């Protein structure tokens, strides 16, 4: 069992959504937090909240899509706080499109933030963890990594890559003292795309809470769990796991189930809504893009 007390935890995508809730819960476990996000005002607000509750936290505003800058980020963390004991890769971005409508730049942005930044941050902190024979990498993947989400294919690809990469390095790191956990949330209420679009999840899909996802992250660290599916049925995601397993054997059956649930229709509606907002006098979303820290 891993104890969070006294550990230095680097958390990306911390300023909003799931990341903000994870930050509160990790701080409550008496860890020293280093929160990273693009939004300086969001980080300032979170830092003040955690410190006022007696927690230990530092914050650094950084654009994770700039992969070549990440060594400087890790050096700054080491200078300000010390070596990273636990890395929680939570930052993520979704851009809803029919695949042929993506630009090369959009594809690169999704893959950089959701996959390459995670791999690079891990590559940078891993030697110290291995030397100390102690550490934990937690990746916020998604149920979209288990079964592709149409009209959100770039995100699905990035999260599936994240899940399989984590599975591979977990095997590499066996007996090293370094653990790797993947958290796969379904739709999450009160944050990310649910708030940005104002469109609820399909009723048959259900939605979990950010608190349930954050609790799953802490449990995965404490119990050294390899993978956790978080969905409405139960935190263990038992029904969801069965569905994903069946989809591996019967992919077209899975396609039919997803259409019945309404997942393709939901994402098409998001594209339509974003287009309308972009064309309106005061668009809330620019470039038909949604950024999120959810799975």
- The residues carrying an active-site annotation are 155
Alpha-carbon distance values, 227 to 21, 38, 166, 220, 235 (Å):
20, 28, 10, 8, 12
Q: How far apart are CA 25 and CA 23, in angstroms?
A: 6
CB-based burial, 52-75: b 16+ in 10 Å, e otherwise: eeebbbbbbebbbbeeeebeebbe
Best CA proximity match to 117, nearest among 249, 10, 272: 10
Q: What is the DSSP string of 2-54?
A: ---TT-EEEEES-SSHHHHHHHHHHHHTTPEEEEEES-HHHHHHHHHHHHHTT
Bridge-based pairing of strands 178-185 and 227-230 is parallel
């Amino acid at each position: 069992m891993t104890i969070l007390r006294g550990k230095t935890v680097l958390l990306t995508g911390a300023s909003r959504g799931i990341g903000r809730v994870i930050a509160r819960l990790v701080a409550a476990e008496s860890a020293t937090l280093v929160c990273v996000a693009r939004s300086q005002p969001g980080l300032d607000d979170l830092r003040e909240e955690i410190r006022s509750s007696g927690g230990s936290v530092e914050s650094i505003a950084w654009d994770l899509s700039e992969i070549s800058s990440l060594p400087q980020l890790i050096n700054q963390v080491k200078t300000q706080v010390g070596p990273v004991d636990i890395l929680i890769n939570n930052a993520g971005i979704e851009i809803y499109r029919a695949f042929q409508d993506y630009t090369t730049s959009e594809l690169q942005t999704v893959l950089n933030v959701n996959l390459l930044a995670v791999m690079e941050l891990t590559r940078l902190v891993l030697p110290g963890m291995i030397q100390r024979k102690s550490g934990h990498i937690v990746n916020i993947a998604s149920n979209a990594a288990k079964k592709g989400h149409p009209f959100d294919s770039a995100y699905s690809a990035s999260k599936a890559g994240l899940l399989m990469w984590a599975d591979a390095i977990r095997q590499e790191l066996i007996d090293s003292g370094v653990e790797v956990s993947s958290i796969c949330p379904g739709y999450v209420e009160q944050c990310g795309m649910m708030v940005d679009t104002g469109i609820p999840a399909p009723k048959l899909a259900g939605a979990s809470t950010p608190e349930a996802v954050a609790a799953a992250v802490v449990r995965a660290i404490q119990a050294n769990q390899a993978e956790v599916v978080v969905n409405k049925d139960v935190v263990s995601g038992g029904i969801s796991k069965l569905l994903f397993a069946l989809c591996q054997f019967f992919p077209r059956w899975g396609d039919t189930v997803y259409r019945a649930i309404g997942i393709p229709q939901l994402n098409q509606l998001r594209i339509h809504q974003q287009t309308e907002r972009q064309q309106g006098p005061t668009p809330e979303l620019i470039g038909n893009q949604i950024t999120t820290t959810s799975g």
